[in-house]
Structure 1
Amino acid sequence: MEQEHNSQEEEIRTRAYYLWEQAAEPKGTPDEYWEQARAEIEKEAPPVESGLIADEPRK
């Protein structure tokens, strides 16, 4: 689970940097790009089935 969190964090970091590079001057704060990147990635993520726990096998 921690590895998945680190992977998502790295994906957000990469997306935030890309957004920062593409921004017109003056550039915003790092937190603005981080939140925008996080929101975009969460929007793109596949929906999670309710009631299932990631580490629990399906029955």
Structure 2
Amino acid sequence: MGQNESWDLEAQFISRLDLPLNLDQNRHTTFHSRLQELRAQTRQRARELPTSS
């Protein structure tokens, strides 16, 4: 199986399964937009936290 075939197979599996934490190729789930929002909030909060050296 070639690399392109592997990616195609992966895309087929993802499209048929409900994998809510996997945002890539998984936009059809109802949780997608909420998880995307939560991740953005978490990144922003992490940027605001002080860093230690």
Q: TM-score, normalised by structure 1?
A: 0.37
The structure with the larger Rg is: 2
Q: RCO higher in 1 or 2 (8 Å CA, sep ≥ 6)?
A: 1
